[in-house]
Amino acid sequence: MSSRIINLLNEIEPRRIVIIKPSALGDVVQTMPLLPVLKQRFPEATIDWVIRSELADLLEGHPLLNRVLIYERKGGFSASIRLLRELRKGRYDLCFDLQGLLRSAVMTAATGATLRVGLQTAREYSHLACHGLLPDTERGVPAHARYWRVAEALGETGSPAPVTPALSEPDRQQVDSLIGGVSAPFLVIHPGAMWETKRWPIPSFAEIGSRALREYGMNLIVVGTRGEKAAAEDLCNLVREKQPRQQVLNLAGETSLKQLCEVLRRAALVLSNDSGPMHLAAGVGTPVVGIFTCTSAERSGPAGEQHQLVQAKVPCAASYRKQCPFSGSGHMQCLTAVSVFQVWSAVKQAVSRNQLASNVA
């Protein structure tokens, strides 16, 4: 079936293509490089994308997309029916289910596409909605390589292109206004994450930020969601106490996804937990120092020698648990297992490897 699905991909000449990848942010970012590959392979085809409403800003206005179809995760039955009807009306020839869950399988089936392709990570019987699964896309394959396998199946031999959201002039002006008081070069820190088991301690982030400002003369911007604003301000205050002469800005909750992309693109270096913003930074070409506690740097980290990834060394590391299963001294040990020394060493390596020191005072 695996070789058969690749043969079918190379035989089909679709007029309408749909990508079903509603979430999560990091996975969406790593899927976006497929767009130019699909357009080059099928220049006459239109491409649509199903995405969660919270992430739609990242794709809206993209020059290679015909339509962005919104999946309302909490929209209820009526919203789901509207989306399924839109998918049916699309009369698609080719559908990629890159989510691999029951809900995406329902969307995939609703397209009625001539060819429906999934990945080997498919769960919840979602493979039944597909005509076949691409080989070498099992869970042990790094996520970035798993999504890029679609491009390789279409004959692509190069590497993924940088992510280029459609940034409008008002968006650009808003970014200029937000960060106008922070001189380049600056370090961006994203201290948040959806899972508590991914969140390296704020004081530890502050220590790294302080050292970077002192050693390299950088300024600091902290980013995150609106819900992370208080924690981001705590980080900023800790850095301000140690480096009162440097510029420190809290942008948590202040940017759209496209605006965040632009902030990350202008950064000299990004320090982050394993999170969507980490992948955004890597996607737009900015060097990243990523901290991996309950997840695997090898499986979930961005590709490229310009990045430095720090992995917790504990028995439960890379367990992908959203909550710590241990109590007592073992509770959240994956966070404390990553030391300030390790992360600072990774920052220094990133600065050296990317020749950032020559760009700072």
Q: Which secondary-structure segment (H or E) carries 28?
A: helix 25-31
Where among 120, 153, 186 does a domain terminate?
153
Q: Tokens for 284?
A: 């737009």
Angle at 163 between CA 187 and CA 88, to 5 degrees: 135
pLDDT of residue 316: 85
State the pLDDT at residue 325: 84
Asked whether residue 176 falls in the same domain as residue 311, the answer is yes
Q: Looking at the structure, tell me whether residues 67 and 115 fall in a common domain.
A: yes
Domain tally, the chain: 2
Distance CA(125)–CA(129), nearest Å, equals 8
Question: In the chain, what is the straight-line distance between the N-terminal and C-terminal CA atoms, in Å?
Answer: 58
Q: Tokens 């999504």 appear where? A: 147
Distance CA 95, CA 218 (A): 46
Domain-embedded: residue 159? no
Residue by residue, DSSP assigns 156-201 as --S-PPPP-----HHHHHHHHHHHTTSPSSEEEEE---SSGGG---
pLDDT at 3: 79
Instruction: From residue 54, give the alpha-carbon distance in Å to each of 121, 186, 256.
Output: 24, 28, 10
- Torsion, Cα 39 41 45 48, to 10 degrees, reads -50
pLDDT in tens, 223-273: 999 999 999 999 999 999 999 999 999 999 999 999 999 999 999 999 999
In a domain, 160, yes or no: no
Question: Given 153, 180, 196, which residue is the final one in a domain?
Answer: 153
My answer on whether 29 and 112 are in the same domain is yes
The answer to whether residues 135 and 244 belong to one domain is no
In a domain, 164, yes or no: no
Residues 186 and 121 in one domain: no
* Six-digit token string for 282: 């890597």
Look up residue 133 and give its two tokens: 């699964």
Task: Decide if 158 is inside a domain.
Answer: no
Residues 200, 141, single domain; the answer is: no
Is the previous residue joined to 185 through a cis bond, with omega within 30 degrees of 0?
Answer: yes
Query: Are 179 and 95 within one domain?
Result: no
Residues 14 and 133 grouped into a single domain: yes
Residue 234 lies in a domain: yes
Using the 3D structure, point to which of 118, 153, 188 is the last residue of a domain.
153
Residue 163 lies in a domain: no
Nearest to 19, CA basis, from 37, 31, 9, 10: 31
Domain assignment present for 35: yes
Element (H, E) at 143: helix 143-153
**104 domain residue, yes or no:** yes
The radius of gyration of the chain's CA atoms, rounded to the nearest angstrom, is 21
232 shares a domain with 95: no
Whether residues 146 and 190 share a domain: the answer is: no
How far, CA to CA in Å, does 288 sit from each of 4, 5, 163, 274, 340? Answer: 38, 36, 15, 10, 16
Structure-token match 């297992």, residue found: 337
Alpha-carbon gap, residue 28 to 163, rounded angstroms: 10
DSSP-assigned letters across all residues of 216-258: H--EEEE---GGGHHHHHHHHHHHHHH-TTS-EEE-TTS--HH
| Residues of the chain below pLDDT 70 | 1-2, 358-361
> What dihedral do alpha carbons 281, 286, 292, 297 form, nearest 10°?
100
Q: What pLDDT does 360 receive?
A: 56
Looking at the fold, whether 116 and 250 belong to one and the same domain comes out as: no
Q: Residue type at 55?
A: L
Task: Give residue 306's domain range.
Answer: 171-359
CATH code for the domain in which residue 176 is found:
3.40.50.2000
What would the two tokens of residue 199 be? 């969140």
> What φ, ψ does residue 71 adopt, rounded to 5°?
-100, 115
Which DSSP state fits 271?
E
User: Are 149 and 220 members of one domain?
Assistant: no
DSSP-assigned letter for residue 74: T
Please tell me the predicted confidence (pLDDT) of residue 326: 87
Strand order in the sheet with 46-52: 67-71, 46-52, 16-20, 94-97, 115-119, 132-134
pLDDT at residue 1, rounded to an integer: 42
Strand, helix or coil at 10?
A: helix
